[in-house]
Amino acid sequence: MSAPILPGAVLGVLGGGQLGRMFTLAARRMGYRVDVFAPEDDTPAGQIAYREIRAPYEDLAAVRAFAKDVEVVTFEFENVSSEATAAAAEFAPVRPSGALLHVTQNRGREKRALEAKGIPVAPFAIIESQADLDAAAAHPGFPGVLKTTSWGYDGRGQRRVEDRAGLANAFRELGSVPCVLEGFIPFVAELSVVGARGLDGSIALYDPVLNRHRNHILDITLSPAPVASAVRTAALDLARRILEGFDVVGVLCVELFLLDDDSLVVNELAPRPHNSGHITIDANVCCQFEQQVRAVCGLPLGSTERTVPAAAMANLLGDLWQGGPPNWAAALADPGVRLHLYGKEGPVPGRKMGHLTVADSTLEGAEARVLAARKALLRR
Find the CATH number of the domain harbouring 49: 3.40.50.20
Alpha-carbon distance of 348 to 165, in angstroms, equals 34
Domain boundary among 164, 183, 202: 183
Contact 258, 188 (CB under 8 A): yes
Contact 181, 140 (CB under 8 A): yes
Contact 145, 174 (CB under 8 A): no
Residue 104 placed within a domain: no
Residue 81 placed within a domain: yes
Q: Is 220 found in the same domain as 352?
A: yes
Contact 276, 13 (CB under 8 A): no
List the end-to-end C-alpha distance of the chain, in Å, as a whole number.
56
Q: Is 228 found in the same domain as 173?
A: no
Which are the contacts of 142, defined by CB distance < 8 A and separation ≥ 6?
Answer: 161, 162, 163, 164, 166, 167, 184
Residue-level pLDDT at 1: 67
Q: What is the CATH number of the domain that holds 136?
A: 3.30.1490.20
Q: Is 356 found in the same domain as 242?
A: yes
Q: Is 204 found in the same domain as 127?
A: no
**pLDDT, tens digit, 9 for 90 and up, residues 194-233:** 999 999 999 999 999 999 999 989 999 999 999 999 999 9
What is the edge-to-edge ordering of all strands in the sheet holding 124-127? Answer: 124-127, 179-183, 144-148, 158-161
Q: Is 240 found in the same domain as 150?
A: no
Q: What angle separates helix 60-68 from helix 82-89, to the nearest 10 degrees?
A: 40
Structural domain containing residue 86:
10-94
Contact 91, 64 (CB under 8 A): yes
Q: Is the pLDDT of residue 380 over 80?
A: no
DSSP 3-state assignment of 18?
Answer: helix
Confidence category of residue 74, pLDDT binned at 50, 70, 90: very high
The two counts, helices (H) then strands (E), for the chain are 12, 17
Residue-level pLDDT at 20: 98
Residue-level pLDDT at 59: 97
Q: Is 212 found in the same domain as 146?
A: no
Q: Is 140 found in the same domain as 50?
A: no
What is the edge-to-edge ordering of all strands in the sheet holding 10-14? Answer: 51-54, 33-38, 10-14, 72-75
**pLDDT, tens digit, 9 for 90 and up, residues 240-273:** 999 999 999 999 999 999 999 999 999 999 999 9
Residue 109 placed within a domain: no
Residue 265 placed within a domain: yes
Residue 46 placed within a domain: yes
Residue 35 placed within a domain: yes
Q: Is the pLDDT of residue 153 over 70?
A: no
Q: Is 170 found in the same domain as 47?
A: no
Residue 44 placed within a domain: yes
Q: Which of 19-33, 98-112, 279-293 has the lowest mean pLDDT?
A: 98-112
**pLDDT, tens digit, 9 for 90 and up, residues 114-141:** 999 999 999 999 999 888 998 998 889 8
**pLDDT, tens digit, 9 for 90 and up, residues 302-323:** 999 999 999 999 999 999 999 8
Residue-level pLDDT at 155: 60
Residue-level pLDDT at 82: 86
The dihedrals phi and psi of 203, each to the nearest 5 degrees, come to: -130, 140
Domain boundary among 74, 94, 114: 94
Q: Is 309 found in the same domain as 210?
A: yes
Q: Is 223 found in the same domain as 172?
A: no
Structural domains of the chain, count: 3
Mean pLDDT of the chain, nearest integer: 95
**Cβ count within 10 A of residue 129:** 9
Selected residue with higher pLDDT from 181 and 131: 181
Alpha-carbon distance values, 223 to 58, 105, 380 (Å): 39, 27, 31
Q: Is the pLDDT of residue 154 over 80?
A: no
Residue 14 placed within a domain: yes
Tell me whether residue 377 is exposed, middle or buried, using C-beta atoms within 10 angstroms of its C-beta: 0 to 12, 13 to 18, 19 or more: buried
Q: Is 350 found in the same domain as 326?
A: yes
Percent of the chain residues topping a pLDDT of 90:
91
**pLDDT, tens digit, 9 for 90 and up, residues 207-217:** 999 999 999 89
Residue-level pLDDT at 130: 83
Contact 80, 97 (CB under 8 A): no
Global confidence as pTM: 0.95
Q: Is the pLDDT of residue 151 over 80?
A: no
Domain boundary among 94, 115, 141: 94
Q: What is the CATH number of the domain that holds 213?
A: 3.30.470.20
Q: Is 204 found in the same domain as 264?
A: yes
